[in-house]
Structure 1
Amino acid sequence: MSLLTDEPLGPQVTVRAPAKINLFLGVAALASDGFHPLTTVYQAVGLYDDVTVSEAGEWSLRLLGDPRVDLDAVPTDDSNIALRAARALLAHHGMEHRALAMTIHKSIPVAGGMAGGSADAAAALVATDRALDLQTPDEDLLRIAASLGSDVPFALFGGTALGRGHGEEVEPLEDAGGWWWVVVESDLGLSTPTVYRAFDDLHAQAGTSGPADAPALPASLLEALVNADVDTLAAALHNDLQAPALHLRADLGRTVEQAEAAGGRAALLSGSGPTVLVLCASRDEADGVRERLVEAGHERVTAVPAPVAGVHVVEHA
């Protein structure tokens, strides 16, 4: 595959996709299909990647990003999930012979537990569909998204949603809140499969394989969303992958402690980590927490709103 951008042969479409966090992540023991059944509540937050697509004479991929994002950790070959998404959509329409020029501008942390790759895949699906005027039905887009990864369907929805199965069964939830989160990034990424293996190992050491079923979602969390009750939401936040991630990375435990000391209502790990999140009641509270964490030595700290929309077109030229 060439890494030189080819001349576009048609419209150029840019689609924006949000990062995700998990307000609740309950993990069951490894099932016979090789996956851990999940119960999770996704929320899309105001940190975005942009994917730009146009038809071209040959496939190409260009990576851009904020200086704080480790682009070296993003594959540029055919293993890139955004490229796989575009190819899967073309194959769905019997158009394997066509090619695309793609540019990804990343602001979501890489290997940060915020589903940046899944966001890119969802954005690539919509950008490809719009650039080639494929008019793919929503149910087909969702089916292709689910085949690419558990978090990809949610990136199409955005907002706040319940996820089941491997996380790919998505049901939008009522959310009246205007939440603010402080996102504390880590200099080193953390592999999601590695964290799941640590989850299995910790349960094996305890003489169990883990819970047979994913923990039930607390009713208080759903009530907090409906009533925009930040303190009830803070008390209901939960992540079964936090313990194994902290077992692998003791430094993250110190970050969580510093995040809790900086204010806000609660701190937890984002997904499989290593990004740490602080729930705040307002933008002013979030700005104060961010400033205190910067003073404590954390350089990559951002205050973001939630929930935000899923993938959406921002440019069509």
Structure 2
Amino acid sequence: MSSVPPPVGTGARTIAPAKLNATLLVGPVRPHDGRHDLTSVMQSLTLADDVALVPAPVGAPADDVDCPGVDGDNLALRALRDFRAATGWDAPPLTVRIVKRIPVAAGMAGGSTDAAAVLRLAAHLSGRGDAALLQELAAGLGADVPHGLEPGLALAAGAGERLERFDGDLPGAVVVVPADVGLSTPSVFREADALRPPRTADDLEAWRVRVLDALRAVGAHGATYPAELAVNDLGAAAVSLAPVVGAHLEALRHAGAAPALVCGSGPTTVGWFPDAEAAEAAAARLAADGVDALVALPTSGAPIEAVPA
């Protein structure tokens, strides 16, 4: 006999914050799945999508997604389907409603953080699915999805799915510069492998220790994250495939960013500034030079709210 699902009512909503890699180091390929081992510092930003899980229109035959400009069979909808299959949740059809603010295919985990938000919302509305199950489902959807289950600051290992989370956030503010070019993540990894061999497992571990010490200092004393650790091994590949990425990095440095780096596999770039005021001034200078830019702050948490009737 099927269980009676709790009433969804008008649904629930949350934010799905963009993810910034403050450090991204690429190691050897894992033989069991073809992914690279990574050491990465992941930080959520106030730049975020709005994600809601609400009842589908009357007569709808199945779950669907409402997100203008995004394919209807996207990662967020897969997250809902996977959650239903794993938990047996048989609520009537639902609509995943997404208001996009994170640039699409930007290297900021926009699709992944939306999928993580759907898992959080489904668990909230259904009363099913513990943390271990959500982690398992998230890892199955993609290496960036687990971080979005608990937005904030984390040190990632594996392909990004093994996380050590930290209280607090990295200090400062960032200026985000999107690029109107397409870069697929697999192509960037291939180019990175062609430009230089991946780091060894020993090198990744040595960096992990350095990064861990820095993150502990940030959490305990509010220390600044060291600029020398702000390294992205995919940055050169992104610049090689899309030279505008290099131009944006140079523009950010000229505007005072310290450091400037590529977001994930690109093509978005970000520049770090000591505070929001400095970041706003830099964004204004970039805009005056014809470079679109926006300011975001490091952030943690993503509360769930009822959708107003």
Does the pair score TM above 0.5?
yes
Name the TM tier (shorter chain): 0.7 to 0.9
Name the residue aligned to 1:129: 123
Q: Give the one of 154, 161, 185 matched to 1:168.
A: 161
Name the residue aligned to 1:276: 269
Residue type of the alignment partner of 2:109: A
Compute the TM-score of the two structures, normalised by the length of structure 2. Answer: 0.87
Long gaps (5+) in structure 1: 1-7, 65-70, 204-208
**Root-mean-square deviation (Å):** 2.1
Residue type of the alignment partner of 1:315: A
Change (3 A) 1:155 1:297: same
Name the residue aligned to 1:315: 306
Name the residue aligned to 2:100: 106
Give, in whole Å, the separation in 2 of the partners of 1:247 and 1:224.
35
Change (3 A) 1:176 1:32: closer
SS at match of 2:41: strand
Change (3 A) 1:304 1:176: closer
Name the residue aligned to 1:27: 26
Residue type of the alignment partner of 2:45: V
Give, in whole Å, the separation in 1 of the partners of 2:129 and 2:24.
31
Cα deviation 1:240-286 (Å, max 9, x = unaligned)? 11011111111211110110000132100111011111101011111
Give, in whole Å, the separation in 1 of the partners of 2:304 and 2:97.
14
Residue type of the alignment partner of 1:13: A
Give, in whole Å, the separation in 2 of the partners of 1:159 and 1:9.
28
Name the residue aligned to 2:240: 247
Give, in whole Å, the separation in 2 of the partners of 1:124 and 1:104.
10
Give, in whole Å, the separation in 2 of the partners of 1:314 and 1:181.
27
Give, in whole Å, the separation in 1 of the partners of 2:170 and 2:162.
23
Name the residue aligned to 1:68: none
SS at match of 1:239: coil
TM-superposed deviation, 1:82: 0.2
Cα deviation 1:92-130 (Å, max 9, x = unaligned)? 112468522221111011110100001110111122223
TM-superposed deviation, 1:192: 0.9
Say whether the 8 Å CA contact 1:87–1:96 is kept in structure 2: no
SS at match of 2:265: coil
Change (3 A) 1:14 1:195: same
Residue type of the alignment partner of 1:48: A
SS at match of 1:312: coil
SS at match of 2:236: helix
Counterparts of 1:150-189 in structure 2, within 5 Å, are 150-175=143-168, 177-189=170-182
Name the residue aligned to 2:64: 60
Say whether the 8 Å CA contact 1:54–1:128 is kept in structure 2: no
Say whether the 8 Å CA contact 1:182–1:286 is kept in structure 2: yes
Long gaps (5+) in structure 2: 1-6
SS at match of 2:66: strand
SS at match of 1:29: strand
Say whether the 8 Å CA contact 1:13–1:54 is kept in structure 2: yes
Give, in whole Å, the separation in 1 of the partners of 2:167 and 2:180.
35
Identity in percent: 35
TM-superposed deviation, 1:225: 2.2
Give, in whole Å, the separation in 2 of the partners of 1:37 and 1:242.
17
Bigger mean CA deviation after superposition, 214-223 or 267-276: 214-223
Say whether the 8 Å CA contact 2:153–2:169 is kept in structure 1: no
Residue type of the alignment partner of 2:294: T
SS at match of 1:14: strand
Say whether the 8 Å CA contact 2:28–2:36 is kept in structure 1: yes
SS at match of 1:111: coil
Say whether the 8 Å CA contact 2:52–2:307 is kept in structure 1: no
Residue type of the alignment partner of 1:60: D
Give, in whole Å, the separation in 1 of the partners of 2:81 and 2:261.
36
Say whether the 8 Å CA contact 1:89–1:125 is kept in structure 2: yes
